[in-house]
Structure 1
Amino acid sequence: MDIKYEEPLYVDELSLKTVRVLGQGAFGSVTLKVHPGHGRYAKKTSSIRLKENLKKELRIMLDFRNHPRIVQASSEHLHLGMFLKDCSIYMEYASEGSLDEVISSFRGKPLPEHVIGRTTRMLLQGLEALHVHGYVHCDLKPDNILLFPSTSFGEPWDAKLADFGLSKEPNTYHVLKLAGTNMYMPPEVSEVPEGLVGQALDIWSLGCVVFEMFGGKAEEMETGGTYVWKLEQEISPVAIDFLRRCHTWHPWNRASATELLNHPFIMQRVVSLRVLQPIPCPPERRQYLERPLFTPRVRGPLPTPIGPRKKQEAEGSVVKDQSTVEKNDVDNKKRHSLLG
């Protein structure tokens, strides 16, 4: 991927002040740094033995410089610590925290469905960019999804993909046993641990993230190594179908990021009306405003795995992509046909 840099990325480390630790883990720590004239940075520091992982993360961020769904590097350099015991990189600071923090704040309750749909669309935009150029994230989970102030009025945040230390780069050999967190890994990781990493791995992980935003819980199967996700609360039929597309058991039958971006769950728009005072409107407009604002719901748990997509299509359970979900004035009959 050819990148044209508008200006060099540079961080003046001597002028930075440490504000607080943002997070710590097995691979290092992230701290918030402030520069008096240039704002805030997130500094990620790892042991020198993990230098190659950190270099790869920096390289991928630079490869996708200026992409709105990929966390951006603030410096082009890998910075070495004193006595060469550690190394660090600088990136933009996610002032809204991580998706994991948001999910935790809901204490097992689901996020609003339209918020889940919008967040998922942003994640798919980032995954599509990675996949088109031959990358696989390999460790997609709420911890690695960072949130920034929204660029759209009335929306809570903008989401970006982060943490590419375990990612697969184009034309490189990468086996499944080197992939990320078990709860978010597809069944092929435990069944064929020596198998090669493919983009379907990220799609399964995305489905796990969507389950979690809906309040879902992961349960380890009796055979061990593979987790299935279940829901206890009701969600819309179109959301159920989206999750089926992500969690098809066989990787070659899972939908691609591009296909999922056209799914009705991603394309639908939930209309919320805030009436401050009665406003007269023509009869044809009044008819539209009186339509139901929310999609029909279904009850019961949603277990996984769910069978191959071809089988679903044969049983008529797959919702077909339709551009009509984009239209605000679609009649009520067509709207329910999309969800059926």
Structure 2
Amino acid sequence: MDIKYDEPLYVHELSLQTVRVLGQGAFGSVSLKAHPGLGLYAKKTSSIRLKENLKKELRIMLYFRNHPRIVQVSSDHLHLGILLKDCYIYMEYASEGSLDEVISSFGGKPLPEHVIGRTTRMILQGLEALHEHGYVHCDLKPENILLFPSTSLGDPWDAKLADFGLSKEPNTYHVLKSAGTNMYMPPEVSEDPEGLVGPALDIWSLGCVVFEMFGGKSTQMEVGVSYVWKLEQEISPVAIDFLRQCHKWHPWNRASATELLNHPFIMQRVPLRVPLLIPSPTKIQYLERPLFTPRVRGPLPTPIGPRKRQQEAATMGKEAQGSVVKDKSKVEQNDVDSEELFMYELCNSC
């Protein structure tokens, strides 16, 4: 793929000074670097054995260069450490932190609904761009949604998607067992870990993120089965319906990112408000995560069936989207079970 740039991407490494470590985990670290004339950069470093993951992350960010909902890179190539033990890339610095930090600062209380709606809209805009070009994020969660100073009146921040080390690229073979973090993964991961990844995986994860912004908590229904999310307070009917569209039990019954962008929860307008005051978090971390996480596997209480959106499946056609269920009654029962599970999620703590 040929990538054309409006201007060259560069980082003057010799002039960079380390400000502080933003996050550190078992599989890498992120540090804040400063240049006297060019500002701040985030340097993401990984072990050389994870070079391909970091190369893929760089490749995806370059493909979506200048997209307002995708974190941008500051250099167009992967850098190798002096002793070839590690590798690293440079990215723009998210000065407002991550969505996970904001959620943690509220101490389990929900964010204001209008803030949740606007933040979710930005996340969906990033997902729509990924899905339209054949990409799937595969690890959508609050830690991987970075926040920047707002460029529009009424928004407390601009949200961007980050961390594409586990993402699926177009025309590549990617199975469910290779994706994301357990508590944000959909039920089909437990049912068929060798199944193919599709956009519906990100939509389920998005629902989990919205649950978390509303103060929701995740629990494991039983050993080896996916997590479910529960709320301890009432939310608006449009928010309930939005979550229902994200958490359809059958993956192909879930709404697409484009459909969700037109949902009333996203489209509703609210008066301009006083800027949101974010409590100071007790500990700041940035992109601290392992690139690979263990997965819980096990049977689902309901089968996995075919997608009902034939038009969408026909346009994607180059790779299989899931298994086919010949018994239609099972698919119908699947939808009933999905609705009962969703109501359990919302009402379990009432």
TM bucket normalised to smaller: 0.7 to 0.9
Which residue does 1:201 correspond to in 2? 201
Residue aligning to 1:117:
117
Does 2:102 correspond to 1:75?
Answer: no
Amino acid at match of 1:264: P
Q: How does 1:136-285 map to 2 (within 5 A)?
A: 136-271=136-271
- In structure 2, runs of 5+ residues without a counterpart are 275-301, 303-330, 340-350
Secondary structure of the residue aligned to 1:163 is coil
Out of 199-208 and 224-233, give the one that drifted further.
224-233
AA of the residue aligned to 2:80 = L
Separation of aligned partners in 1, 2:44 and 2:267: 35
1:110-164 deviation digits (Å, cap 9, x = unpaired): 0000000000000000000000000000000000000000001242100000000
1:321-336 superposed matches below 5 A: none
Query: 1:88-108 deviations in whole A, cap 9, x for unaligned?
Result: 000000000000000000000
Could you tell me how far 1:14 is from its partner in structure 2?
A: 0.6
The correspondence of residues 7-26 of structure 1 with structure 2, limited to 5 A, is 7-26=7-26
- Call closer, same or farther: CA 1:8–1:240 in 2, change over 3 Å: same
Kindly report the root-mean-square deviation, in angstroms, between the aligned alpha carbons of the 2 structures.
Answer: 1.9
Q: CA 1:190/1:40 → structure 2, altered by over 3 Å: closer, same or farther?
A: same
In the TM superposition, 1:28-43 aligns within 5 A as 28-43=28-43
| C-alpha distance in structure 2 between counterparts of 1:138 and 1:27, whole Å | 18
**Distance in 2 (alpha carbons) for counterparts of 1:223 and 1:53:** 30
In structure 2, relative to structure 1, the CA distance for the partners of 1:20 and 1:125 (3 Å cut) is: same
The residue matched to 2:83 in structure 1 has which SS?
helix
Larger relative CO (CA 8 A, sep 6+): 1 or 2?
2
What CA distance in whole angstroms lies between the structure 2 residues aligned with 1:61 and 1:257? 19
The amino acid that maps onto 2:128 is E
Q: Is the 8 A contact 2:248 2:335 kept in 1?
A: no
Displacement after TM superposition at 1:273 (Å):
6.8
Output one character per residue of 1:61-90: Cα deviation in whole Å (capped at 9) or x when no partner. Answer: 000000000000000010101210000000
C-alpha contact (below 8 Å) 1:248/1:308 kept by paired residues:
no
The 1:308/1:57 distance shift into structure 2, 3 A limit, reads farther
| In 2, Cα distance between equivalents of 1:61 and 1:308 | 40
Per-residue deviation at 1:2?
6.1
Q: Aligned in 2, Cα 1:273/1:227: closer, same or farther, shift over 3 Å?
A: closer
Which position in structure 2 is the counterpart of 1:96?
Answer: 96
SS in 1 for 2:136: coil
User: Which has the larger Rg?
Assistant: 1
Instruction: State how far apart, in whole Å, the 1-side matches of 2:37 and 2:333 are.
Output: 54
Q: Partner of 1:64 in structure 2?
A: 64
Equivalent AA in structure 1 for residue 203 of structure 2: I
| 8 A contact 1:182–1:225 mirrored in 2 | no
- Deviation of the 1:3 alpha carbon: 3.9
**Residues 42 and 92 in structure 1, CA contact (< 8 A), matched pair in contact too:** yes
Aligned to 1:322: none
Q: Partner amino acid for 1:175?
A: V
Q: C-alpha displacement at 1:225, in angstroms?
A: 3.8
* Contact 2:70–2:126, Cα closer than 8 Å, also in 1: yes
Q: Deviations over 1:144-185 (max 9, x none)?
A: 000000001242100000000000000000011000100000
Q: Tell me, in whole angstroms, the C-alpha distance in 1 between the residues paired with 2:123 and 2:156.
A: 15
TM-score (norm 2): 0.78
Q: Percent identity?
A: 85
Give 2:280's aligned residue.
none
Tell me, in whole angstroms, the C-alpha distance in 2 between the residues paired with 1:102 and 1:14: 34
**Correspondence for 2:323:** none
**Counterparts of 1:148 and 1:101 in 2: how far apart (Å)?**
13
Query: What secondary structure sits across from 2:266 in the alignment?
Result: helix
Distance, in Å, in 2 between the alignment partners of 1:55 and 1:86 is 12
Preserved contact between residue 154 and residue 273 of structure 2 (Cα < 8 Å): no
* In structure 2, distance between residues paired with 1:308 and 1:104: 39
Give, as a single letter, the amino acid of the residue that structure 2 aligns with 1:155.
D
Shift of 1:270: 1.9
Instruction: Give the structure 2 partner of residue 301 of structure 1.
Output: none
Q: How far off is 1:224 after superposition?
A: 2.2
Whole-Å separation in 2 of the counterparts to 1:46 and 1:273: 41
| Amino acid of the structure 2 residue aligned with 1:91 | M
Letter paired with 2:31: T
Closer, same or farther in 2 for the Cα pair 1:147/1:198, shift >3 Å?
A: same
Q: Provide the rounded CA distance (Å) in 2 between the counterparts of 1:97 and 1:187.
A: 30
| Ranges of 4+ aligned residues in structure 1 off by more than 6 Å | 307-310
